């Protein structure tokens, strides 16, 4: 998606046949299973399937042109990867033009292999960027805890009643379960899941995510 694209529910002409847009988005949803680079765009476009308009279809066609340039692009899983869990979390404050809700984005790595990622609109409006970031952190930590528990069944009984409240992150920090590190914008992989990025930023981040095009010249 072009970085300056601003989509909302009420700008542009309604499509005469909305089923065309709905079928297209429905098919593209399956691609997000192996193409994290289009996750944010599909997340955004799927918000308009009830009343799609021409700008929404134009953005979808732009996405199709992007996909055609690299049909072999996908995730690479290294056989020599470590077993350390790492996560990148980000939030785009008030990015929804219709509701002013923020967007949460995160990606989780097992060693160098990305195993989980998400772009999702937050359920309530955050009053500050710090609040939006905090909610994104809580969502990411919850996903990390779920992965850790799933791979360590012995922890299940003692953690099945974990309370997700506003002090979730603080508790994990004090317990030493989560360690927060500052990340410069150009290294923030979660940006891919919260906003449209220019090619100069997108492709270097995808390379760090081990997203490769098998058809590109080596």
Q: Do residues 170 and 177 make contact, with C-beta atoms less than 8 angstroms apart?
A: no
DSSP letter, residue 9: S
3-state class (DSSP) for residue 85 = strand
pLDDT for 215 = 82
Taking only the tens place, the pLDDT of each residue in 11-49 is: 999 999 999 999 999 999 989 988 999 999 999 999 999
CB atoms within 10 A of CB 152: 10
Q: Do residues 60 and 25 make contact, with C-beta atoms less than 8 angstroms apart?
A: yes
Structure token digits, residue 3: 């970085």
Taking only the tens place, the pLDDT of each residue in 202-211 is: 989 998 888 8
Handedness of CA 93, 99, 103, 104 (dihedral sign): positive
Structure token digits, residue 49: 């399937």
pTM exceeds cut of 0.75? no
Taking only the tens place, the pLDDT of each residue in 107-160 is: 999 888 898 999 999 888 888 888 888 888 888 888 887 776 555 545 444 444
Taking only the tens place, the pLDDT of each residue in 44-72 is: 999 999 999 999 999 999 999 999 998 88
């Amino acid at each position: 998606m072009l970085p300056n694209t601003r989509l909302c529910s009420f700008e542009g002409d309604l499509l005469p046949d909305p089923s065309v847009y709905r079928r297209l988005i429905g098919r593209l949803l399956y691609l997000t299973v192996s193409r994290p680079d289009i996750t944010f765009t599909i997340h955004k476009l799927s918000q308009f399937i009830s009343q799609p308009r021409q700008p929404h279809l134009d953005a979808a066609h732009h996405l199709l042109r992007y996909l055609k340039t690299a049909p072999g692009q996908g995730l690479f899983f290294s056989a020599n990867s470590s077993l350390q869990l790492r996560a990148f979390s980000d939030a785009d404050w008030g990015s929804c033009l219709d509701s002013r809700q923020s967007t949460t984005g995160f990606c989780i790595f097992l060693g160098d292999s990305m195993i989980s990622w998400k772009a999702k609109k937050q359920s309530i409006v955050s009053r500050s960027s710090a609040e939006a970031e905090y909610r994104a952190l809580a969502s990411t930590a919850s996903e990390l805890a779920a992965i850790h528990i799933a791979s360590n069944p012995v922890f299940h009984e003692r953690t099945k009643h974990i309370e997700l409240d506003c002090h979730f992150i603080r508790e994990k920090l004090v317990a030493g379960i989560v360690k927060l590190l500052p990340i410069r914008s150009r290294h923030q992989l979660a940006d891919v899941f919260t906003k449209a990025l220019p090619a100069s930023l997108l492709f270097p981040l995808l390379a760090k995510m081990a997203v490769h095009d098998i058809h590109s010249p080596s």
